[in-house]
Amino acid sequence: MPKCHIEPDRLPKHIAIIMDGNGRWATERGLPRTIGHKRGYGAVRRIVRAAGEIGISYMTLYTFSTENWKRIEEASVIMELIRHAARRELSDLQKNNIKLLISGRIDDLPAPTRNQLLANREATKNNTGLVLNLAVNYGGRLEIVDAVRQIARKAADGSISPDEIIEETISGHLYTPEIPDPDLLIRTAGEMRISNFLLWEIAYAEIWVTPVLWPDFTRQHLLEAIADYQRRRRKFGGIGDMTKAGI
């Protein structure tokens, strides 16, 4: 794979990734699907490290969707893997000045996994480097439902008028309103769909799909995605002189 040249002054501020292909990676090798998830954890470690070194400000990883509970045996293994990874990675998060956030219905997670994630979030809250947002027990439609419920309660008690509700109102009630919308959405394993991920937030994101399965995704693939992003003309619905990507 040829080296990719990227321009440091035009990096995407926020990269979101649909980490697809763990199970397929294992199946192709005659291994249990759960082995693929463990190998996928290795890819998470190297890509998060690479993002911090490159200078990415925010990264959101689609870690576990609300639909994944249908895979009963896999789900329990993944929950334990997330708990183990969170405990193991805390020291590295601190060493690399990474701030951890969590998007999703956290309260519905198994207590050991939930408690470890929340402990990591609390421990890293003052870090000032890469913001790593894990979408765990996450669904894009449910995120919007939860936001609408919050706004509806405020409308019911009179703290907001229905006529005052604008796009920023919705954005401000999503799971992580403190981070900007993604500029670049990466999907591995070649599937051409969004899979209920960040439905509100990716309205203007550039999308980059690769056939590479997530356990095989490397720093070089990340650089390739960023280089492609920088070659694009982002117009946000306009037709002006925005001839450079990232403007």
State the catalytic residues. 20, 68
Q: How far apart are CA 128 and CA 134, in angstroms?
A: 17
